[in-house]
């Protein structure tokens, strides 16, 4: 059972879909599947954005896609850094030639707009980037107040929703988000290998007005959207069977219903936290800032991180994750994502921890 920070368990129907015969990437039947994927992704992102599609590559490819297409050398970017993936966003922006201003936050806490405003020092920015669901800490970042700040700074808003999409509400149009990326291996419950992205009309206009070419040929959306759009122009050979997988995963998500899926994640996360408290274990993130898809737990003094996780794997067939950065060695990361967010997995994890600690 995969109950770490990702990948998550995959429904048998998704694995079966991926085992179907491979079609050519310009086969009319496959082009129909592509259109259905785009429509379903819009529904899950809750957006009408025309430029919405899965990139060939993992979630980090989605991050680079957004940065490389939205940024030109000399652009100013304000990045919220309160975990590993905020740190990575800042580094990718720098490699795009942007002037990066980092707002350093506490690991395990969300940002306020005032913190980001103070870090900005005033002036204009081209992009504000924050992590909606910080996989390294288990923090859920409120977005609407960050949108208001981006407006003050004259900036587009980019969010990382790799660990939130299909597990928490992601309201791209409702929140006024200009660009977002995710990954298939978390709450979408599909194997790793694709990164859904979406771009607002304002973001598309920014890309069209570029003076410098996108630094990455492979991730250049001015080329790729020709394949996903009406032109069907060749760019690269699409990962056909991975796209079968995300098609089936999205179908299952919409069949369950987004609200029902969010409620299931919330219910199982609450049960996990209640059980952890009964074991005397402390959840790291304050209640109103916690992810339901990923819970970070403080490792008690005297308990060996690696030995505990090995015990769970060897005796319970259960994988949980260790901490990263300043949380390395003192934190466990327990995922309840997508197909893996079940009462059975909650019970299994609590039983395994009880035995390990005993």
What pLDDT, on the 0 to 100 scale, is given for residue 147?
98
Question: For the residues 257-264, what does the mean pLDDT come to?
Answer: 98
**Residue-wise pLDDT tens digits, 281-336:** 999 999 999 999 999 999 999 999 999 999 999 999 999 999 999 999 999 999 99
pLDDT digits (tens, 9 = 90+) for 183-230: 999 999 999 999 999 999 999 999 999 999 999 999 999 999 888 888
How many whole angstroms separate alpha carbon 177 and alpha carbon 128?
10
CA-to-CA distance for 185 and 194, rounded, in angstroms?
8
What is the reported pLDDT for 47? 98
| Contacts made by residues 143-148, CB under 8 angstroms, sequence distance 24+ | 143/171, 143/175, 143/177, 144/175, 144/176, 145/112, 145/113, 146/80, 146/111, 146/113, 146/116, 147/175, 147/176, 147/177, 148/113
Query: Residue 234 pLDDT > 90, yes or no?
Result: no
How much is the pLDDT for 229? 84
Mean pLDDT of the chain: 97
Q: Which fold has domain 258-357?
A: 3.90.1150
pLDDT at 231: 84
Segment 79-99 shows an average pLDDT of 98
Q: What is the pLDDT of residue 139?
A: 98
Residue-wise pLDDT for 108-167, tens only, equals 999 999 999 999 998 899 999 999 999 999 999 999 999 999 999 999 999 999 999 999
Helices (H), 46-105: 59-70, 84-95
CATH number of 12-255: 3.40.640.10
74 backbone dihedrals φ, ψ, rounded to 5°: 95, -15
pTM above the 0.75 mark? yes
Q: Which of 38, 46, 1 is closest to 246 using CA atoms?
A: 38
Confidence of residue 88 (pLDDT cuts 50, 70, 90): very high
For β-strands 294-298 and 331-335, DSSP reports them as: antiparallel
Q: Domain spans of the chain?
A: 12-255, 258-357
pLDDT score for 122:
82
Bridge partners of residue 140, in order along the sequence: 133
Give the whole-number percent of the chain exceeding pLDDT 90: 96
Q: Using 50, 70 and 90 to split pLDDT, how confident is the model at 11?
A: very high
Residue 232 in this model has a pLDDT that exceeds 90: no
């Amino acid at each position: 059972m995969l109950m770490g920070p990702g990948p998550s368990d995959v429904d048998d129907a998704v694995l079966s879909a991926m085992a179907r015969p491979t079609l050519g990437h310009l086969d009319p039947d496959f082009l129909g599947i592509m259109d259905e994927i785009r429509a379903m992704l819009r529904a899950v992102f809750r957006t009408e954005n025309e430029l919405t599609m899965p990139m060939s590559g993992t979630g980090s490819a989605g991050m680079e896609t957004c940065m490389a297409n939205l940024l030109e050398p000399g652009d100013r970017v304000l990045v919220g850094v309160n975990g590993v993936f905020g740190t990575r966003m800042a580094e990718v922006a720098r490699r795009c030639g942007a002037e990066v201003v980092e707002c350093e936050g506490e690991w395990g806490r969300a940002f306020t707009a005032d913190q980001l405003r103070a870090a900005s020092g005033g002036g204009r920015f081209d992009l504000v980037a924050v992590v909606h669901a910080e996989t390294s800490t288990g923090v859920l970042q409120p977005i609407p107040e960050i949108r208001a700040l981006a407006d003050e700074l004259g900036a587009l808003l980019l969010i990382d929703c790799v660990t939130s999409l299909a597990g928490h509400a992601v309201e791209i149009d409702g929140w006024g988000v200009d660009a977002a990326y995710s990954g298939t291996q978390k709450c979408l419950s599909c194997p790793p290998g694709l990164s859904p992205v979406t771009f607002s009309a304002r973001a598309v206009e920014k890309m069209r007005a570029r003076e410098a070419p996108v630094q990455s040929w492979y991730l250049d959306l001015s080329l790729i959207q020709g394949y996903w759009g009406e032109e069907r122009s060749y760019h690269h050979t699409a990962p056909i069977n991975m796209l079968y997988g995300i098609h089936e995963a999205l179908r299952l998500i919409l069949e369950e219903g987004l609200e029902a899926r969010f409620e299931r994640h919330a219910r199982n996360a609450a049960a996990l936290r209640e059980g952890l408290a009964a074991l005397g274990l402390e959840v790291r993130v304050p209640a109103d800032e916690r992810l339901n898809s990923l819970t970070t737990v403080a490792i008690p003094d005297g308990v060996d991180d690696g030995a505990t996780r090995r015990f769970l794997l060897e005796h319970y067939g259960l994988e949980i994750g260790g901490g990263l950065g300043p949380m390395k060695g003192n934190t466990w990361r327990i995922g309840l994502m997508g197909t893996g967010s079940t009462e059975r997995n909650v019970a299994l994890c609590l039983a395994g921890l009880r035995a390990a600690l005993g």
